[in-house]
Amino acid sequence: MAASEPPEPPPRSPVSRPVTARVPAKVNVQLAVGGLRPDGFHDLANVFLAVGLHDEVTAAPADALRITVEGADAAQVPLDRTNLAARAARALAERYGIEPGVHLHIAKDIPVAGGMAGGSADAAGALLACDALWGTQAPRAELLEICAELGSDIPFSLVGGVALGRGRGELLTPLETGGAFHWVFAVADGGLSTPAVYRECDRLREASGTGASAADVPDPEPSRALLDALRTGDATALAAAVSNDLQPAALSLRPALADTLRAGADAGALASLVSGSGPTCAFLAKGPEAAQAVATGLAASGTCRTVRVTSGPVPGARLVHA
């Protein structure tokens, strides 16, 4: 064999014991939404930040594809073919010509339909866990390609940290950050449908007379002040720069979220915003003590179902070794 020829890939070696992947939630510190494209999506300048709430997806050998879910929100997770983790397992199996015989068990801690990419996290986790279980050893670029086919936010669930998403959010550029930021999340009762929130955003734009098409809306651009604040780790500067173009739409569909945002601000949050398409609200705090104070104020306000305190950025999907 000539020295320049690439080495043979290692043989596929499926494992027989269960494999677990741990995947973070996200908050969008900037979500700039362009006009409606002919394909039904919107171009974005989407700055994702991964935070320390995680789902765990365990893949175990089975005769056929099967899903089980545990956690407070488990009953809200679809168990049929639409489940994103199941779709991820099937997509990987199809590419490698294998049967998707796998039992996927999801230990769910990320709010369901909350605007924190919980479904995306499960898809990225299932992909990583099945890749290890089946020994498919898919290159990173291929995993990212499968993620992008399955959903706009899923590549970020794999990558984690902080990243700018362009296109419909799937074209990622990792960003530098100067430290951890402290976050409080107010989880609402019930979820919001992402397509419905985008539709409401378009409707509000039409109603205001600006128009909603790509020709009517300026191209979304990342905020220089926001990128600087992330790089320097300056929470006060980040608070001044966060923005979410989907927030008016989420508030229009769920007006009570205004009370939640106000309660967090009253309790000392540096910034209060809807997370992605909502209805989870995100609050940036100066430090860990301030975050606890914001959480206490939110819990006492009675404007949300649950309050979670965490920090980020954190790494993306990882295999958990027992």
The residues binding ligand C5P (CB under 6 A) are 40-42, 44, 151-153, 168-169, 194-195, 198
- 118 labelled as ligand-binding? yes
Torsion of CA 279, 282, 283, 284, to 10 degrees: -160
Q: For ligand C5P, which is the closer residue by CB, 40 or 288?
A: 40
Q: For ligand C5P, which is the closer residue by CB, 151 or 279?
A: 151
How many Cβ atoms are within 10 Å of 5's Cβ, its own excluded? 7
- 52 labelled as ligand-binding? no
- 60 labelled as ligand-binding? no
Helix and strand counts by DSSP (H, E) for the chain:
10, 12
Question: What is the smallest separation between the CB atom of 196 and ligand C5P, expressed in angstroms?
Answer: 8
- List C-alpha distances in Å: 104 to 107, 122, 187: 10, 10, 26
Reading across the β-sheet that carries 271-274, which strands appear in turn?
271-274, 281-285, 181-187, 306-312
Q: For ligand C5P, which is the closer residue by CB, 58 or 157?
A: 157
How many Cβ atoms are within 10 Å of 127's Cβ, its own excluded? 33
Question: What is the smallest separation between the CB atom of 198 and ligand C5P, expressed in angstroms?
Answer: 4
Question: What is the smallest separation between the CB atom of 192 and ligand C5P, expressed in angstroms?
Answer: 11
Amino acid identity at 296: T
Q: For ligand C5P, which is the closer residue by CB, 157 or 260?
A: 157
Whole-angstrom distance, CA of residue 174 vs CA of residue 41: 22
Single out the catalytic residue among 43, 55, 153, 245.
Answer: 153
- 316 labelled as ligand-binding? no
**153 an active-site residue?**
yes
Question: What is the smallest separation between the CB atom of 150 and ligand C5P, expressed in angstroms?
Answer: 7
CB 196 within 8 A of CB 203: no
Q: For ligand C5P, which is the closer residue by CB, 168 or 205?
A: 168
**Residue 18, Cα to own-chain centre: how many angstroms?**
25
- 112 labelled as ligand-binding? yes
Whole-angstrom distance, CA of residue 299 vs CA of residue 71: 20
Q: For ligand C5P, which is the closer residue by CB, 197 or 241?
A: 197
- 121 labelled as ligand-binding? yes
- 278 labelled as ligand-binding? no
- 120 labelled as ligand-binding? yes
**108 an active-site residue?**
no
Question: What is the smallest separation between the CB atom of 252 and ligand C5P, expressed in angstroms?
Answer: 16
Question: What is the smallest separation between the CB atom of 148 and ligand C5P, expressed in angstroms?
Answer: 9
Nearest to 67 by CA among 46, 82, 48: 82
CB 318 within 8 A of CB 22: yes
Nearest to 138 by CA among 177, 98, 105, 101: 98
Which 3 state secondary structure label does DSSP give 202? helix
177 — phi, psi (to 5°)?
A: -130, 150
**∠ Cα 147 148 154 (to 5°):** 55
309 — phi, psi (to 5°)?
A: -115, 130
Give the residue numbers of the binding site for ATP: 111-121
Give the residue numbers of the binding site: 111-121
Residues involved in catalysis: 26, 153
